[in-house]
Amino acid sequence: MEPTPRGSVIIQEWPEESREAAQLVINQYGEPHEATPSLLTWFDVGPWKRMVASKSYYEHEFPAPHIDCVRSFVDYRVPPSLASDVVSFDGSVIIDRTVGEVSARCHDEQANFLALNLVDDIVQGKRTVEDARAYYAQEFLDARRKRPTPYMEKLRLEPTPGTAPDPDEPLLSQRDLEQAMEEGQQARS
């Protein structure tokens, strides 16, 4: 079996935008645990359950034009009733209710700290969507001004390791499924 290529070698073929972002993660956490031509993955690094840098990147206009290509994951439950607030706050925050995870995708780890810390503020009722967006923009500017950026320094929320997955509740019974299968077989006959 051939050895997995090192992430720092793989990213040499990536577009400059995603290569630069992936290099920041390599500089911080070393070579990835898994590497494919389009994805680099680290497990249990820093406060993260995992981090994924991708060759693909997405243009994102909030709070200013930039690219998103590094996702940081934590075990964290976002109540379904607050999911629309979270995605209204930042479209690069991804809630995976079934798995019990939330992630942020941006250019670097500090922006992901900022986004997820503000998600926690929304979930805890400390900020509205509008207030969280305004705070994000302010801290983004403060980083450029070399001023303190407490939400970008570290993950302030408490990940909940082993967050129980939320498989939801079935709407169809086993009998409903069997009956549909029988009807399908009869329709083919």
Higher pLDDT, 165 or 82: 82
By the 8 A CB rule, do 96 and 103 touch?
A: yes
Give the pLDDT score at 149.
97
Give the pLDDT score at 1.
41
Query: Mean pLDDT over residues 92-115, rounded?
Result: 96
Could you tell me what percent of the chain has a pLDDT over 90? 80
Give long-range contacts, CB 8 A cutoff, 24+ apart: 120-127.
120/76, 120/156, 120/157, 122/82, 122/85, 122/86, 122/89, 123/78, 123/79, 123/82, 123/86
Query: Mean pLDDT over residues 64-82, rounded?
Result: 95
CA–CA dist 43, 56 (Å, integer):
20
Give the pLDDT score at 35.
96
What does the CA dihedral 121, 125, 130, 132 come to, rounded to 10 degrees?
-10
Higher pLDDT, 157 or 4: 157
Give the pLDDT score at 165.
66
pLDDT band at 5 (very low <50, low <70, confident <90, very high): low
pLDDT above 80: residue 53: yes
pLDDT above 50: residue 145: yes
